[in-house]
Amino acid sequence: MRARLLAGTAAASLALAAVAATAGPASAADDAKLSVLHGVPGLTVDVYVNGKLTLDDFQPGKLAGPLDLAAGTYTVAITASDAKDDSDPAIGPVDLELAAGKNYTAVAHLDGSGDPTATLFTNDTSTTAPGEGRITVRHVAAAPGVDVLAGSDAVISNLENPDEKVLDLPAGTVSASVVATGTTEPALLGPADVDVAEGTNTILYAWGDATADPSTLALATQVIDGLHGNPSGVQAGQVGLVSDSGTTPVWPYALGALGVVSLAVVNRRRADAGR
């Protein structure tokens, strides 16, 4: 689900949006979707895609996109925010290969040692089970491995930069916190209420630098909705009292509720009368 781009080259992959403009004609179904998250603290950049300035003064913590792009390879260069063009990139150029029908997020972030890097993640847009939502947690911070606690239980263990973990959960609210692997406190992030939204992939990024003083560790969120699955059917009768065929309900069950019994008797008589 993940492909490294260029370790050691920073904010790269702020790819993006070379934009449909640079791509050949393609139907929407053949397009790839690309979002870009800037997770390098303290660095404002310009992003060039296929030589075109695509994101101007892009700031940390910002999420750009999603953009519909024809499948293909996009070349991305990242420069200081006052550059005139992409001839002297601070990062890159890197090539992003985007496949038709896929949904990507390119993240410029710090690696575990605090050096700028970039990672291209593929977002899970498969249909969720009815009544469930999806949580994706991505570790893109200069920090050691972490556990994610829901309440006091570790639901994710030893997640390391730049890995991700995907969980499908019943829709609802989960109180979650991020701690160093093997600990329960102190919380590096949270606790915070996380909305497990039905039919939605809620992608949480732990980004920043835990070694900075003060720590710049922070949370960023991306939401991809419309992934819901429908109930498999509607079973809306329990007893058989109104059966078209006059089938007699099963008496032992009916004994459980007096009101039901009396109704069942009526039904039984009707059935008998019909014979």
Q: Select from 191, 202, 257 the least CA-distant residue to 226.
A: 202
Pairwise CA distance, residues 242 & 83, whole Å: 77
Residue 1 or 7: the one with the smaller Cβ distance to other proteins is 7
Residue 99 or 250: the one with the smaller Cβ distance to other proteins is 250
Q: In angstroms, give the least distance from the CB of 56 to other proteins.
A: 9
Q: In angstroms, give the least distance from the CB of 78 to other proteins.
A: 12
21 contacts other proteins (rule: CB under 8 A): yes
Residue 54 or 179: the one with the smaller Cβ distance to other proteins is 54
Which 197-256 positions form the footprint of other proteins (CB under 8 A)? 197-199, 202, 205, 218-223, 225, 228, 230-245, 247, 249-250, 253, 256
Pairwise CA distance, residues 241 & 98, whole Å: 58
By CB under 8 A, the count of residues binding other proteins is 82
The span of 61-69, 96-104, 150-158, 182-190 binding other proteins (CB under 8 A) equals: 61-69
Q: In angstroms, give the least distance from the CB of 220 to other proteins.
A: 4
Q: In angstroms, give the least distance from the CB of 94 to other proteins.
A: 11
Q: In angstroms, give the least distance from the CB of 101 to other proteins.
A: 20
Pairwise CA distance, residues 91 & 83, whole Å: 13
28 contacts other proteins (rule: CB under 8 A): no
Instruction: Tell me if residue 259 falls in helix, strand or coil.
Output: helix
- What's the token pair of residue 105? 């997020």
Interaction pattern, residues 120-149, with other proteins; x per rule: CB under 8 A: ---------xxx------------------
Pairwise CA distance, residues 106 & 120, whole Å: 4
Which 151-190 positions form the footprint of other proteins (CB under 8 A)? 160-162, 171
3-class SS string, 38-59: EECCCCCEEEEECCEEEEEEEC
Pairwise CA distance, residues 220 & 243, whole Å: 55
Pairwise CA distance, residues 89 & 48, whole Å: 9
Would you give the end-to-end CA distance of the chain in angstroms? 65
Which 87-126 positions form the footprint of other proteins (CB under 8 A)? 88-90, 93, 111-113, 115, 117
- What's the token pair of residue 70? 């024809």
Which 255-274 positions form the footprint of other proteins (CB under 8 A)? 256-257, 259-260, 262-263
Sequence length of the chain is 275
Residue labelled with tokens 């291209």: 120
Residue 26 or 239: the one with the smaller Cβ distance to other proteins is 239
Residue 121 or 205: the one with the smaller Cβ distance to other proteins is 205
